[in-house]
Each structure stands twice: as C-alpha cells, then as structure tokens.
A and B are shown apart, each in its own frame.
Chain A
Amino acid sequence: MQLRMKGYLRTVTIALISLFLISVAAGCAKTGDQAPATKGEKVLRLGAVKDFKEATEGKSLIIERFVGVDHEGNFVPQLAESWDISEDGKTYTFHLRQGVEFHNGTAFNASTAKFAFEWIAKKAPFGSYIQKIETPDDFTLKVCFNEYYAPFLLDLASGWTSPVVCPEAVEPAGSVEGKLTNFIGTGPFKLENYEKDKQAVLVRNDGYWGSKPKADKVVWKTIPDPHAQIVALKAGEVDMIGITEHHSSIPYVEVPGLKKAGIQVDTTTYGRYQVLEFNCHKEPFNHQKVRQALNLAVDREKMVKELFGGLAEPANTITAPWFKFGPSNVEQKYGYDPEKAKQLLAEAGWKDTDGDGILDKNGQPFTFELLIPAGEANADAVAIFVQSEMKKIGVEMKLLTLESGAAWDRSKKGEYEMFVHHSFCLPSIPGGIGIGQKYHSGSKSWPAAYHAQELDRLIKKAWTSPDESQRKQLCDEIWDILHEQAPCIPLYDIVKVVAYRDNVSGFKPGPTMFDMELQGIEVK
C-alpha cells in the first residue's frame, strides 16, 4: 500500500515537472530570436497598440493610394500623378505614375490600376455612384459617375477605404470581390514577416518611387497596454511609441515623466477636437441661449492647463479653422464668460427661485446627464472638470459611463442629453457638415444633433456642385449659422503624442493622423 502511494506521488510530481518543462520548451522552440537583425542594419522598432494587420495605419506603410491629402485637406498626388475633373464634376481622369512596380514585381499600369479601383469601389461609399471605368491608354484611368459625388477624392485618400492593392494581393487572385490576404502594395516598405498579435517586420522597398526610407527595417511590435509601452520605451526595447495610432495612445499625464527620462516627445495637431454634443431636439438644449450659455461656462484654458499641463490647445470653434473648408471666417468664438452665461440662462427663463444653488424653470431644476462611452480618451477627467464648471453657473451635470458600443448605440438613437466624443477629421469632411453627416438632417447616425432647413439647403448646395470657390463661401455661411446656434461645446484639440529615444532622429509627423512618414527617420 505504502509502496503504491509512493509510486503515485512520484508519478504525479514527475508529470507536473515535465509538463512545466514541455510548456516552457514549446515556447522556446517557436521563436528563438525576436528581431533578426544583421549587424549594422538600421532597425526602427515601433511599439503599437494594435496588431499590425488590424491597424489601418500600418497598412499605409505598404499599400499606397491614388491620391493623398495634406494637413489642411488639399489633395496631393500619390499613385496618380495628376488628375482632371470635368466641368460637371462627373468624370475624373487620373494620369498614373509611370515606372512604379508592386512589391511582387507586377507593374503598376492602367490595367492593374483598374483592378485596384474596381476592388475599392466594391466596398467604398462612392461605389454605387460609378457608371463606368475606362482605360484610354496604359497610364490613364477614367472614372465616370452617374451623378456628382463630392467626397470622392476624400474617400480615395483614405487608407482604409481605398488601398491600391495588386491583383495577387487578394484571394482569389484577381477577383474584385476577393479578400485582401497578402499585403502587396507599392509603398516605401515591404512586409517581410508577420506574426499575429506579436510583430511585423517591414523592409525598405529599394525600388520606391518617392523618397526612400533611411532605415533598413521597421519592426512593428504589438504592445496593447500604454503603460507597458512606456516601460518598453524607457527600457530600450522599442525606439518609438505613439506614432502607430491615429488617436493619441500615450496618456497625456505620462508626458512629463517621459521628458524627465530623457525621451523626446513631439505633439502634432490634426484638428481632432473633443466635443460635448448637445441633444438639440429635447429640453433644455433645444434652446439656443442655453447652449450658448453652457459654451461660455467652460474655462478651456484652465482645463488644458490643469488636466494636461498645457499639452493640448483649447478649442474655440466646432472644428479646426485651418481646414480647407474649416470655420476660418467665424468671429464669434467660444470663450469663457460665466457672467454672460448666467445672463443668457436667465433670459432663457432659468433662475434659482428656491435658493438651492441650482437653477430652475417651471419648478424643474436644471439637471442633465452626460453620456460617456467607456474608453474615450481623457473623458473622465474632462467630465469632472466640466461638471464643476457647470455647478458654478447653477447647472447640475450627472455623469453616465457606458460600455462604448452601448453608448454609441444610444447616441445613434438620440437617447442622450449630452454626449462626449471626438470630432472626425480628414480624410472625411471635417466638422460634420457634409450631406448625411452630423449637422445635416438626413443623418441617421446623429438624429439629435442640431438640424435646420436653412442649414440643409446650404449643405446640399455646397456639396452638389464641383465649384470649389462657391463651396468655400457656402461653408463659411454654414459655419456662421452653426457657431451662432452652438450645437456643441468644443473643448480642446486632441493632439497626437509621439515619443522616441535619442537614437532616433528625423521624425516628421504625417499629413493626417492615419499616415506615418517614416522615410526620413534615421536610427543610430
């Protein structure tokens, strides 16, 4: 009996230890070396939140587009060297760049471009407007539309909507309905190796048509936790963080610590504002003066100083004024004037009659709820700051944080009083003034945003005619109306923070928040 028990204990112990060793060994066997670097090779190691193939940002290093867009929203050539637009705006003739090859050697010409375009059009918003696609010669692509579609070039400039892929990149090869399986493009880097959720190794494309990258390799390392990224950067396991996300993945509060540790920190504005959206269709925010008052009640200067150490700029207009069709004309910018706020609220009928410090009207106290999608950057801190600012003018703000899918679902149904989110910018029409966008009554995603017939008319006029000078004028009118109506409280500019070690030089921010320009970066 004793002997048997002894044997049993021994078996279990041996089994456990061998299981442990096997599991450890299994790990070692898989990848011996993390970043295979030959001597003297210049490797830039990026710490990224997302897996390489899941992130649009990474794709743009490998796969290019027909046109790009600059910081303000002007179109710049990429694989199309130039383009002509017909008088009625319905025909686009793209003159393609010559002498370009995909990474697998396939030539980029009218026929491969036509394939890429058709592949894009299957899923792109402009797809249903296209009448026909022609290739008059080897380097010309002609696209004819049924009707004028204003955001066409913007859609085309989006790396998510419109990557120019090679016919062999999709599965089944050459099918316009195929699935993108191989990352084969024309970009400055080629994908050499990819391991799910671990890393991707990109090598320089020596045949690149534009300025060639200075680094030999870029290693995209997936590190989902931002704090772990910071440790990895400080420990020298990655060279650069924050560049691979369009949003700012480095928490603003960490920036002073990074600088103290000798890390270089760059911030770039992309005109993406954090805003508090009013439900303009319900009491109390269906009243213009109330919206204006609340806009004047938030001290944005103090907010960015206290919460972010002055890292972000306060926002005084609905979207950045320097966008091509942005509110540069607007004079009535939102400042800080609590006295005027109180006065406007009084004019709207809100007075503190029962002396409890909260304004009331018809016996109802001025209380509302701010809906916060969980994970919205800085939203918790900002909400508490705004809450205290509201209290100063006698308005009670309650906070409700919901899981982000659930919160967005409510916003889409208009079931909120105030909703915090960030404005979307390039390459879509900045500020939500396109047809079917936030401030157009046809918007199905924003049924509770500010809508008006006059606004609809101007929006429709601005985006149904190809005349750009007329569009600028109309947009100015739209911005005037919107700023007068105060449909939201713009708070601050969500700057993108990029941090890198001192062995990295030559960093230049990309033109939009989705684009990385790594060509100029040198690694020591």
Chain B
Amino acid sequence: MTDLPAQKADLKSILSTPARVDNSEGMSYLQSVPRRIVTLYIPLSIIVIILLFPFYWMGLTAIKPDDQLLDLDRYNPFWTWNPTFKHIHKLLFESYYPHWLWNTMYVAIGATVLSIIASVLAAYAIVRLRYKGANVVGGLIFLAYLVPPSILFIPLATVVFQYGLFDSPLALILTYPTILIPFSTWLLMGYFKTIPFELEECALIDGASRWQILIKIVLPLAIPGLISAFIFCFTLCWNEFIYALTFLQSTPNKTVPVAIVNEFVDGDIYRWGSLMAGALCGSLPLVILYAFFVEHYVSAMTGAVKE
C-alpha cells in the first residue's frame, strides 16, 4: 500500500519510455523458442486477428463489386481481384455524406474546444487555487463521469426542445461537454500536479496574476496533456451516438454514425457495399489521427483511469 503513489507517478514515464521494458530481458532466456511460440505468439496472433478482422472485412466489402459481394460460390469471399470505387464514389457524390462528415467534424471540434477551455480552468482551480471545497468539487466531477448518457438522453431531449435547440448542431455542441468535461478535468488535474509549484511561486513574486500564470507558465508545460485530452475528447465526440440520434431530425444535419445507421439501412440487398464504405470513411479520420498520436491516446486512457 505504501508504495502506491510511487507506482502512479511511474506509470506515465514508463509508458512514454519503452526502453525500460527491456529490463525484463533477463528472464526471457528461461523460455525455449517452441514454448514461446505456443504460449505467446499463437494466442497473441489469434486475438489480434480477431480484433482486426472486422476492419479488413469492412475495407474489403467497401471495394468489392456488387456481384462478387453476394456470390459466395464462384468467388473466394476473402479477396477480390477487381476492386471498385463505385461504393465510395456513390457515397461521396450521390449522398449527403460530405455534409455528415462536416457536421461530425464541426460538432466534435466545437464541443472539444469548449470542454477543454472549461476543464483547463476547472482543473487548474482544483489543483492549484485550492479554494474551499476544492476536493469535494473534484470528487463530484468524478461522479459526473459515471453518469451515463443512456440515463440522461430523455430529460435532455425535453431540455433541448425547450431551449429551441432541437435539430441543431448546437444542441450537441452544448451537451457533449457533459461527457467530456469530467474526463478531461481529471486528466488535466493529473498533468497540472506534475508541474513544479515553485515555478508559479516565482511568477507570483514577479507580480503575475493567476490568469497570466495559467496562460504563460502552466499551459505551455501541460501541452502533452492538452493534446491527449483534445484527441481523446475528439474521439469521444465522433463516437457519440445516442444524443445525436435523439436530438437531430433532418437528414442533412445528422452526424456520420447516426446517418449511416438511419439513411443507408434500407431494404436494398446491394446496400452492403455503400454501408461498409460509409463505415470505412467514417472510421478513417479517427484511425489516421490515432496513428499520429498513439502515445497520447494511451496516456489519456491510462491517465484517466489511474487517478
């Protein structure tokens, strides 16, 4: 129990420096190669293949011609020799898909920026201003993280209706922060705690106001944390479904996840190609973002959990 805080502090540094993992090298000579194949490589590859197969299938379906899609006897379903961009073309030029992508992007960026601003202020106040009751407020914000959208969407629908925000992207921009603020506040609190207090004391002696300290000293030092919070919030927004499904009505206003489920699912037996193309194009922006910021994602996930 006593060494628990030290562990927590270690977590991030270990994640960001994979070099330390090599310490375990000393033990691996105890295992023979065949044993490692059976106990490690085979189970690992099975799990990874299962985890990645749906994406392969999604991508393959998106570029398969219709006749091959449904004729499983004459063509090997696991591969195609004549890929087509028909489905993606149809998606981008004959549907509202670019609109939906734009809506999703707009809502995600709007909600993320609002939440990050609010959480930076809140996290700084809780960690560094230490006003009366700061710890209680911190705990309440954590509790807010545990309130799931599935409980809130019915009353929120009436609230959104009352404020006249129904069927407007603004409804989502204002409601998503309730999911994002608790998460990013806790994440940023962790980052702010690692910034030396002495820096702020120096600035205070030099006559800086709290606002100047936050903008000129704390924020530049917390940039990795801000990036983590930003991309994670962005992903959560892009992923969000139930609010978008409930609050948006008209087809051009929808976000990608809702639109694909509602607009592309019709009785057409050939719908699969465009459905999977839509799912693929909706996932790619996030996957690309993820590829650039893997370490930030991991630290965001573990950062929120370790608190």
A interacts with B: no
Listed in ascending order, the chain B residues whose CB lies under 8 Å from chain A are: none
- Give the B-binding residues of A (Cβ under 8 A): none
